[in-house]
Amino acid sequence: MFSQQLVNGITIGSIYVLIALGYSMVYGILQIINFAHADVLMIGTFIGLMFCSGLNVPILPTVILAAFCTALVGMSVERIAYRPVKSENRRMAVLVSALGMSIFLQNLARVIWGSRTHAFPTGIPIKLFEIGTVVITNIQVIIMIVTLLVLAVLYYIVYKTKMGTAMRACSVSIDHAKLMGINANSIVALTFGIGTFMAAIAGICVGTYYDAVYPTMGYILGMKAFAAAILGGIGSIPGAVAGGFIIGIIETLGASYISSGYRDAYAFIIMVVVLIVYPSGLFGAKQLDKV
């Protein structure tokens, strides 16, 4: 029983990891929370549904095409909703703009696709594998493998490329990065694009796993992924990975051994406890303010 729930938790945690990375990457550079991130994920999932169901595109090209389209949406959100108002002295304006964009995207999805829940037909036949007492599906295996591949590519981009060096420089200080000749606006836009690229993959994984897509699906996913980012240390990529897996495992074990009725509450309980006891998170750096 425990082993089975652990596998289920790692599967769900894999999805939270992909979403939490978007929150942490944007916060690491701009020191703001992209509250529209989860709704861009939802738009990306519907784009994937359009390719997969409406145009009968195979699932692998669907994932790639939907992820690139969603990255463009994410970069557009940054250009329209964040860049005109972002400033150290205008944090409230950024927050309001993010919430406004979130509401806009949800209602846009309702207008285009309706409010009902849509099935997500991937054409992948479900297969079961038994390992001792643990039963794992091929969908779960695919989700975990996809997450590992995305993490490997992200590691290469962030730590082995010039663009990654520029991203890390901007995360230390955008002003100093500009003095070194880095185009900060382009780096911020690319960060939004990479984050939403991963979010679209996560959304399609959710649609495949639960066979359901709907306009408000991003809300609860986004809040749990945000809790994961807080747990790991907002702004930390390793923290987002650790936090995502921890939230997924605790949520699944809690639903199994405590109460399934509080499944959605466990992530928020963890977030509150971490904020009280260890605000910087597991991998977050402590901020020292000079007086």
What's the mean pLDDT in 218-239?
Answer: 89
Residue 291, pLDDT score: 40
* Cβ contacts of 135 within 8 Å, gap of 6 or more: 4, 128, 129
> Average pLDDT of the chain?
87
Identify the weakest region by mean pLDDT among 14-23, 28-37, 219-228: 28-37
What's the mean pLDDT in 34-53?
Answer: 91
What's the mean pLDDT in 174-185?
Answer: 87
Q: Is the pLDDT of residue 161 over 80?
A: yes
Contact 75, 192 (CB under 8 A): yes
Whole-structure pTM over 0.75, yes or no? yes
Higher pLDDT, 238 or 284: 238
What's the mean pLDDT in 120-137?
Answer: 85
Q: At what angle do helices 266-277 and 217-232 cross, to 10 degrees?
A: 30
Q: Assign 290 a pLDDT band (cuts: 50, 70, 90).
A: very low
What's the mean pLDDT in 176-196?
Answer: 90
- In the chain, what is the straight-line distance between the N-terminal and C-terminal CA atoms, in Å? 54
Quick one: tokens of 45?
A: 């999932």
Query: The tokens 């923290």 sit on which residue?
Result: 239
Residue 95, pLDDT score: 82
Q: What percent of the chain has pLDDT over 70?
A: 96
Residue 110, pLDDT score: 93
d(CA 55, CA 49): 9
Contact 247, 16 (CB under 8 A): yes
Q: Is the pLDDT of residue 286 over 60?
A: no
